Structures are given as C-alpha cells and as structure tokens.
Structure 1
Amino acid sequence: MTQVAEQVAQHYAKHMAVGQAAEEMKRADQQTCPCCGISFYKFRSQGRLGCPYDYKAFREQLEFLLANIHGETRHKGKRSSKPPELAARRTELIRLRREMREAVEAEEYERASQIRDEIRRIESEAV
C-alpha cells in the first residue's frame, strides 16, 4: 500500500466509524476527473495525479493529505516561472488526446482526425 493510500485510509478511519469509512472510501475511489479520466483509486494506488484539474475533482480528499504532509493547504513557497497559459494549453492537450482515443475506440475516425488536427494546431502554436 502506498503512503498516500495509507494516509487516505487513516483519515477516513479517524473521522468515521469503520463501516462508514469503508463506504466513504468506496465512494471516493469511484470519483474520476472529467478532464483526464483518472480515478481517485488510481491516484491512491500510483500516488500521482493525471492533470491540474485533478486538484478540483479530488479537492475534498486532497485537502487533508496536503495538510497532513505539508502542515498547510495553502502554497507559501516559490511560484512557477512558467506562464499560466502554458498549463492551460497542456491541460487542453490532455483533454483532446483523451477525446481522440475515445473517438478511435468508438470507431469515429472522422471525429478523431478532427481532434488530431486540433492537437497539431495547438502544438504548432507552442513553438
């Protein structure tokens, strides 16, 4: 069990009865990020998030982890020198790649090629 998974389980066990904690963990594990599609269960098992929007999707579960690990839930250190537009572009590319994969799986090749072209356009703008 990863350290993250242990901390999540301990948090729920502290704040609820055992049966309630198990139900709450089951509910939390089924949540997924609408942008990248990662589940909270996958995050717990890997210890890594899939995209910046995961912080919003799993906010409730992550707040106690951040407070437990860092002692705070607010950032008080150095800021990234990269412009926020870069993060937004990356997130958009993650979303588009997921949509393209889903379109191919659904055999919607026309839609997949349109999405591929959009990905290429965004990537060429970054250069």
Structure 2
Amino acid sequence: MKAARAQGDLSENADYDAAKDDQSMTETRIQELEAQLKNAVIIESSSEADVFDINKTALVKFCDVDETEEVTLVSTVEADVKNMKISIESPLGKALYKLKVGQKATVASPDGSYDVQVEKLL
C-alpha cells in the first residue's frame, strides 16, 4: 500500500484501491481462520482396526440402490462430496462414523432416509 500511496492522488489511484481490497480480503481470511481455531475440536480416532473412523476409507454399500462407493470420512473443512470425502458432521458421515465392518445404519437426510452398510475398510 505504501507504493500505491506514493503514486499521489488516492482518489484516482487504481493500485491503491486494489491494495485496499487485498488488505480487506486478507483481514477477512484471518478472522475466518481465527474463528476456526477458536472452535476447533480434537477428534480422537479409534485404535480398533475394524471401525470406520475419521481419515479412513471404506467401501460403503448404499442398500436402497444396491451400489457400492469408496467413502472417506473427514472433518468438515476437508469435505469434498464430488470425491466422496464426507464430513463426519453430515447426515451420511454421522451414520457411518464408528460403524464396524458389516454393520448397517440409517441415514436421515433432508431428502429422506436410506440405509448404508460398511462392506470393507481400505
């Protein structure tokens, strides 16, 4: 911003305006990160080998449509539905979290309920 200020009249200084916008976005991002740190919760993963837990991947059968998908349970920040990285706070994640291989659960989603089963941990 110092370099932009040095260019003179700030009322018509595009570099200064761009620098102010960048500063504002950076400050907003800092506030977001501080809020995440303030609200962060440490999640202990299970030492049991057959439990579907955070940062684990499993073959999950969607019983109602008889399809199997590779699903990875992750934190909310890491969630990426397109790549089947499912947040443990989502309806599907809540249903799968801590299930053992072979166990079934019912997912209560806004679109209706459906059953899933952990087939195999990968």
TM-score (norm 2): 0.21
Could you say which structure has the higher helix fraction? 1
Which structure is larger by alpha-carbon Rg, 1 or 2?
2
